[in-house]
Structure 1
């Protein structure tokens, strides 16, 4: 080829490359810019966006998506996910949502910003992605509707049905919903779940409809019958606006001779409401546990005469009242929830020790390094016996704090087992009471044999390494399922909260004082309102 043609070709190539480059300029948006844009958007302040965003683009973006600004607060992180000529897409993590933002750029500035899709952040990571202006979207998730009561669409979000017309509400995180994990060796209820909206079942086969999404299946709950296997999942409970510490607000009911004649309508703004119960397989459950940021867990083990639904509500109330910031897990063993079934419950508790240790083992597999356990009433028969037996093995299961609330355990057996439990725990706390109605009932059923959680005239159980606190003056039930409010419950919950957060020995509050009083050395502690 002649030399002058080579010169022309070189000049043409440079010109073409320059033209091509200007048409397909590489985006200039960096992570720090995206976070600054996100913060300005959450404040509805386009003027606070970085200089690379064209003023008109900033104004149009804030105006177009203004109704989402309150939801997309707390800009935690931004990670680049897709880069193309003249555009780049980032995944933005907010406190309660995650969303994909697309930035159209030239070589110097951002020309346009759009939110491609968003979804609420959940423990299960199972919410479907939605477009900001998709008015035909299905409900966010199949959500249990307890007792057939319709849930306020402003609380639930997602699609609602009005006659033949389907309208969509903006998805909104309800800050009064408590979300926690559960594990149970109860049998699953045959009652089909009552779900919000009109989702299509995954399959029906020959049985009731099955609603599944991303490996999670909605269930109505679990019975008091025993299951040789372990069922695991996640529960969501809404705490009402008028909630009082220590109380579980439920609709008033009229009872006669133990039979319920009438119960008022459930109102989510006034009463605790189970919003969803979803099960999954154990492997996915462990992966979901592992995905949580804080590796501090609180396992609650309920007591005698407790149905699964009641255990769920109590776990939600404790988590909410303690303002616990770690991961809560309910371990629910097969209690029939009937006083007449005391012996059945006792055998069920003893038969649940292996399942309980399996749950603790799952938490270790998920990377949890701080596991506390609160066991109430007969739930201590599960926890104390399991940990005592495990302490005698070559690979014992260890936890941080074991908190025993009014343990319905034979006093002599408790004294015998606690030395073994002390070997696999960092701290042991006993809340004892002479006024706990449930414990007094258990004592009568057990033939008058003293219980470890009782406080006889001689005083409560006092052992080396055991922090014993007499809370007799708190009322007639600390974690029982009556629905009265005790003004003094807040102080005991405060004591629990300090114990869980800091692991400090008593006295942690001025209302909890050593007995006998100084100058004598305190043998145990008393709650003095």
Structure 2
């Protein structure tokens, strides 16, 4: 009996720690999942890639390009041969009752698109088709809608976790450009942190290749990057590689680089950012991020995303980095506090405001009047007032 209780207790502890280390796995679970094996119940008609239908049709849909070094599907833990990327174009639907910051997922069974975020369409592409389809998506767009947002997830994240999170961020942040997910395989296991970092490292060449392909697309605007947790390390290493090859700004196309809860050693980040234009980078930190605290304990070094702007010592570190730093500690939710960047509506709004600024904007976000919003919320419902970086906030208080 004691042995069984001990084993059960260890299993529960392992599960809790796995959640702590998770890069993006904390999601809002909707009540009453659909019965296993049930089919999508809403009736759709696909017109120009946008979904319309009866009263049960989802309120919003967004098309996402997926670039993956996963060998298989949703929970694949292996790299593709040679870590060569695979491509697809997926349509993700978001339910009518969606609330900003939530990922409406069923507790069990297949998703009901009237209540849950879901995959409505999946089309595999080869490299040539990806470039062609991306160019077609950008063609005819004007202003900010020509921008591309590349999202890179963190540790312990399935394909569905990543593409659903990107769809949520696009809808909640009112991003009018073209979203692209770069996803790499995770072992999704407590003791596989090192193995996951190796998988991320092996994906650098594929990541840089797709960034260069996006930047070279005719008519493209800026190429923004939003990375989370271990995905920030992959992003910084890839951009450092781009700098070493002579294209630190992707031939003038690199836009904003947003690093959420970066799981990066401070000394390593200093080396990485020294080769890049720090003014393009925003870092979202939280002193209560328990996942990063555990990561620091495992690796022996402080993590960039766990800096405390209220500490005089950390203030000096922040001032020396040259990047914009946003303290989102006050928006912490749950026991872990690692997904605040996406779970807190005010922070998502800040991300949207940053991405929706024209290059010369200094104040409110400018929403492109020519953008297609037929499947997005009314932009007037989105708060776009900037949260000041901590340096500006402290100056204003003096």
Q: TM-score, normalised by structure 1?
A: 0.55
The residue number in structure 1 matching 2:373 is none
Q: CA deviation at 1:274?
A: 1.8
- Whether 2:136 is the aligned partner of 1:291: answer yes
Count residues with an aligned counterpart: 316
Q: CA deviation at 1:498?
A: 1.4
Structure number with higher relative contact order (C-alpha < 8 Å, ≥ 6 residues apart): 2
The residue number in structure 2 matching 1:430 is 283
Note if contact 2:42-2:113 (Cα within 8 Å) is conserved in structure 1.
Answer: no
Partner-residue secondary structure (3-state), 1:224: coil
The change in CA–CA distance for 1:317 and 1:153 in structure 2 (over 3 A counts) is closer
Residues 219-246 of structure 1: per-residue CA shift (max 9 Å, x gap): xx46121112110111111111221111
The change in CA–CA distance for 1:347 and 1:451 in structure 2 (over 3 A counts) is same
Q: CA deviation at 1:481?
A: 9.7
- Whether 2:122 is the aligned partner of 1:274: answer no
- Whole-Å separation in 2 of the counterparts to 1:402 and 1:149: 40
Aligned positions of 1:469-508 closer than 5 A? 469-476=326-333, 480=339, 489-502=344-357, 503=359, 504=361
Q: CA deviation at 1:515?
A: 4.3
Residues 245-297 of structure 1: per-residue CA shift (max 9 Å, x gap): 11101123xxxxxxxxxx36632211111223321111011001001233210
The change in CA–CA distance for 1:174 and 1:240 in structure 2 (over 3 A counts) is closer
- Whole-Å separation in 2 of the counterparts to 1:311 and 1:285: 19
- Whether 2:164 is the aligned partner of 1:313: answer yes
2:102 corresponds to which of 222, 242, 247: 247
- Whole-Å separation in 2 of the counterparts to 1:509 and 1:459: 26
- Whether 2:270 is the aligned partner of 1:405: answer no
The residue number in structure 1 matching 2:221 is 369
Partner-residue secondary structure (3-state), 2:348: helix
The residue number in structure 2 matching 1:442 is 295
Question: Unaligned regions of 5+ residues in structure 1, if any?
Answer: 1-144, 159-169, 190-220, 253-262, 521-529
The residue number in structure 1 matching 2:8 is none
- Whether 2:236 is the aligned partner of 1:384: answer yes
- Whole-Å separation in 2 of the counterparts to 1:270 and 1:171: 16
The change in CA–CA distance for 1:178 and 1:339 in structure 2 (over 3 A counts) is farther
- If each structure's helix is expressed as a fraction of its own residues, which one has the higher value? 2
Q: CA deviation at 1:174?
A: 5.3
Instruction: Decide which moves more: 490-499 or 171-180.
Output: 171-180
Note if contact 2:265-2:303 (Cα within 8 Å) is conserved in structure 1.
Answer: yes
The residue number in structure 2 matching 1:215 is none
- Whether 2:173 is the aligned partner of 1:322: answer yes
Note if contact 1:224-1:308 (Cα within 8 Å) is conserved in structure 2.
Answer: no
2:38 corresponds to which of 149, 152, 156: 149
2:203 corresponds to which of 352, 361, 365: 352
Instruction: Decide which moves more: 495-504 or 176-185.
Output: 495-504
Residues 452-505 of structure 1: per-residue CA shift (max 9 Å, x gap): 1112443363335311111111114676399xx95xx22112211111111556
Partner-residue secondary structure (3-state), 2:113: coil
Note if contact 1:467-1:505 (Cα within 8 Å) is conserved in structure 2.
Answer: no
- Whole-Å separation in 2 of the counterparts to 1:518 and 1:327: 36
The residue number in structure 2 matching 1:181 is 65
- Whole-Å separation in 1 of the counterparts to 2:110 and 2:305: 37
- Whole-Å separation in 2 of the counterparts to 1:436 and 1:346: 19
- Whole-Å separation in 2 of the counterparts to 1:353 and 1:287: 23
* Structure (1 or 2) with the larger CA radius of gyration: 1
The change in CA–CA distance for 1:146 and 1:496 in structure 2 (over 3 A counts) is farther
- Whole-Å separation in 2 of the counterparts to 1:304 and 1:395: 28
Q: CA deviation at 1:396?
A: 4.1
Note if contact 1:376-1:479 (Cα within 8 Å) is conserved in structure 2.
Answer: no
Q: What RMSD over aligned residues (CA atoms) do the two structures have, in Å? A: 2.9
The change in CA–CA distance for 1:291 and 1:272 in structure 2 (over 3 A counts) is same
Partner-residue secondary structure (3-state), 1:186: coil
- Whole-Å separation in 2 of the counterparts to 1:381 and 1:510: 26
Aligned positions of 1:227-238 closer than 5 A? 227=80, 228=82, 229-238=84-93
- If each structure's strand is expressed as a fraction of its own residues, which one has the higher value? 1
The residue number in structure 2 matching 1:339 is 190
Q: CA deviation at 1:392?
A: 2.1
Partner-residue secondary structure (3-state), 2:303: coil
- Whole-Å separation in 1 of the counterparts to 2:295 and 2:130: 35
- Whole-Å separation in 2 of the counterparts to 1:329 and 1:290: 13
Partner-residue secondary structure (3-state), 1:225: coil
